[in-house]
Structure 1
Amino acid sequence: MEFSLIALDLDGTALQADHVSFSPRLSAALLAAHRRGVAVVPITGRQFAMLPPAVPTGAEWEELCVLCNGSEVRRLADGALLDSHYMAAPLILALIDLAWRLDLPVELSAGGRLYLTGTDWERLRGIGGPLAFHLNTILSARGRAVPDLTALCREERLCFDKVNLPYLPTERRAEVEAALSALPLSFAWSSPRSIEITHREATKAQGLLRVCSLLGVDSARTLAIGDSGNDIPMLRAAGLGVAMGNAPQEVRDAAGAVTLSNAEDGAAAAVERYVLKETR
């Protein structure tokens, strides 16, 4: 199959273990694909303000990106918003209430910030280990403690693109999934212990379809590469979904192929094999 677009997850897929950079091999592969007329679109759970130094850099291939698991489509060059699906205040209030009833920390994502109570921030610090990157890189730079989330969500100036439940005990997984399934929204496991919640029409699959429409690309000619639960809709919607070798089994099962792990430059290997038709 000849591909016209590469949909590329970032953390755990395109980014190296530092969560900051692309490998030279991947950068070269993406540039080669672009010069053959193939669009390259990062599709990530991150906000535009939280994109890593690897994106945007002014690289030739940079054009559009899908953010917050499909809540936004923006131009990489200037951040211009091209499409959005935000959550309304009543739904945010319902999620805050749910988190409080289940005694779970909750974060509201809006305007390049993550809002949470000081109490929840301290709870996350107490968990430490599995949240080290989130605490030390994301919250330290973009987090903001507020006294009252319910008052915050009524502020008209804020557009809520995502709600995070950043840490769930394993034994609460089924209970939380059942509660979220009863609400008009989309959700996905971004790690074995964290859930990202968005507007019902905001998934990575919907984001992929929207950029295909904007770029005039047939969705059947797309290659998607990802490693986490929030990538599953995108992997299924693409012409070919490729799971990283480091992906959980449910992600591999959703894909049409599996590449090498992130540590082995699996994203670059997939672009080389399926787009550039190269073998190593």
Structure 2
Amino acid sequence: MTKIRLCALDVDGTLIDSSLAITEGVARAVDTLEQAGIIPAVVTGRTVKELEVLRARFPYLRYFIVSNGAYAFDSVTGACFYKNLLPLELAKSVVQEAQNYSVMIDIYADGASYVDAAAWANKAAYRVEFLTHPSLGPARIPTEDVGAFLASRTSDVEKLYISFEYLADLEKLHAFCQKLPVDLVVSIHDGLEVNQRGVEKGSGLKALCGLLGILPEETAAIGDGFADIPMLRCAGLPIAMGNAAEEVKAAAKLVAPDHDHDGAAWAIEQILAAQ
């Protein structure tokens, strides 16, 4: 088997369990990757600020692909090595339409999340209590008028994440967005994620391989969500979590235990054993 030199790691549903914690078993396993000379890279839907707890636990992590592939950077040099941002005018169109409904709008930009302040104060109505977790809540910047925030910008954004009080409104906004040149993902929390067309984790991983001079077949990838499928298909050794949907598992060569049973640690053990 080809020697693995790079391992792409999803965060939610993979490195962290259902309580949004990193278990000691998973943490030790990630450490063993680094000790074995395999480069661990974080590939996630989160923003940079939502990764502060993770970065504190693993200070040696250098490469990050965030917002599901919209932006990728080297934390040592600060250099961006890949980006595919949501054009500002498209973001404005979606937000303008979304404001016709009872929603909470998150604008992912500049490594943070700018959230509608009034909706954030009433977050229980939008079923987003999970965002109050210490690893997520502090990354949110309450903003009085997200439309005005976009109007004041001159640069593109990473993505939009829209939460709904009424699921019927999700269907309506989804139908509106389908007419635009964007990619859409409905989250497990019934939120609508709006990305620039073509944004996916696999493109970010390929860019990182190019930066490091590593072949895709020399990579492993571990993930659980639909957004992880392009990353899994790119990797030489793709591993799906046990909590993944069947479509995700179909893109993998191995299936690990779920994220509440240290599945990521098991996956890393298989990577090391295959060396």
Correspondence for 2:10: 9
Q: What displacement does 1:208 show?
A: 1.0
Q: Unpaired segments of 5 or more residues in structure 1?
A: none
Matched letter for residue 20 of structure 2: H
Instruction: Provide the C-alpha distance between the structure 1 equivalents of 2:273 and 2:172, rounded to a whole number of angstroms.
Output: 45
Residue 252 of structure 2 corresponds to which residue in structure 1?
A: 255
The change in CA–CA distance for 1:33 and 1:113 in structure 2 (over 3 A counts) is closer
User: How is 1:1-280 mapped onto 2 (pairs within 5 angstroms)?
Assistant: 1-2=1-2, 3-21=4-22, 23-57=23-57, 59-60=59-60, 62-77=61-76, 79-101=78-100, 103-127=102-126, 130-137=127-134, 140-156=137-153, 159-167=156-164, 175-277=172-274
Deviations 1:229-263 (A, max 9, x none): 22222223322322211223333334333210111
Q: Distance in 1 between matches of 2:253 and 2:164?
A: 30
- 3-state SS of the aligned residue for 1:69? helix
Structure 1 stretch 201-210 or stretch 165-174: which is displaced more? 165-174
Shift of 1:132: 1.8
Q: Percent identity?
A: 26
Size of the alignment, in residue pairs? 274
Deviations 1:147-195 (A, max 9, x none): 3322211323654111102347555665554433332223323425123
Aligned mates of 1:151, 1:274 — CA distance in 2: 48
Letter in 2 for 1:4: R
* 8 Å CA contact retained: 1:189, 1:230: no
TM-score normalised by the chain length of structure 2? 0.85
Change (3 A) 1:29 1:231: same
- The aligned amino acid for 1:262 is H
Q: Counterpart of 1:126 in structure 2: which amino acid? A: A
Q: What TM-score results when the alignment is normalised by the length of structure 1?
A: 0.84
The CA distance in 2 between the partners of 1:26 and 1:138, in whole Å, is 17
Q: Give the secondary structure class of the aligned counterpart of 2:193.
A: strand
| Aligned-partner SS, 2:194 | strand
Q: Is the 8 A contact 1:186 1:203 kept in 2?
A: no
- Alpha-carbon separation, structure 2, partners of 1:123 and 1:24: 34
Q: What RMSD, in angstroms, separates the aligned Cα atoms of the two structures?
A: 2.8
- Secondary structure in structure 2 of the residue aligned to 1:126: helix
How many Å separate the matches in 2 of 1:237 and 1:174?
A: 31
